[in-house]
Amino acid sequence: MRGRTAVTAATLATAAVLLTACGGGGSGDSDKISSPPSTTAAPLSSATATSTAAGAPTKIDPSLALPADLKLNFDWAAPTDHAQAIALATAANFIQAMDHAVVKQSTKDAGLATYSSGKARSFATTFVQDYITHRWTLTGTDHFYRPKVTLGANKTYGEVTFCDNQSKVYGKEIKTGKVLTTPEDDSSYVSYSVVVAKLQLPTEVWQAQSITVKEKALQCK
């Protein structure tokens, strides 16, 4: 059983949000995202606001560190454009926050509140709860690659898409330590589309607002 797709098809169908932004390769700004998503998320805690006072991170948040047997390989360089770099890092931190919450077996893990709100937070909560219910955690290496960042006109929101090869990341039974391995096949390839936005706060805080997950994404081979 693979890591992130261990959630049921019904779970994904309920939680995923279909987006309408443009696709294709490369990265850059685009006016095809006609309006920003809602940024009326619940206020961040004072601790979270303080931790982000210096600006949104452009790399993986060290507070989301994972155990030695679980590695997320974000196989890309940070864009030179500041807003693109923050958008890409926000999407990566959102993905890592979900795995961190799985490892901690908590839908209230702080990283979820820091890096997601709205439908993205609902997706993450459902995803993490499925692992908690089955008493699974994660192990192995998850490989993310081919990112594309498309920003709105004012560079305060956008869409981040990327591929995922899950062939070497697995669910693991917490009680027995049994690793739920499966061979690599078309289901190993997944594509993600994450809408991110800057919140209307004094500090530069970005969060994932919604997420679309496509399994058997053969374009990622």
Backbone angles phi, psi at 18, to 5 degrees: -75, 130
Residue 143 is given by DSSP the state E
Residue 180: strand pairing partners: 171
In order along the chain (221 residues), what is the average pLDDT of each group of 10 residues?
46 32 36 45 37 64 97 96 96 97 98 96 96 96 98 94 96 96 93 94 88 95 92
Tens digits of per-residue pLDDT, 99-141? 999 999 999 999 999 999 999 999 999 999 999 999 999 999 9
In degrees, to the nearest 5, what angle opens at C-alpha 93 toward C-alphas 33 and 64?
165
SS (H, E, C) 182-209: CCCCHHHEEEEEEEEEECCCCCCCEEEE
Tens digits of per-residue pLDDT, 62-83? 999 999 999 999 999 999 999 9
Q: What is the pLDDT of residue 7?
A: 45
Helix (H) or strand (E) holding 159: strand 157-165
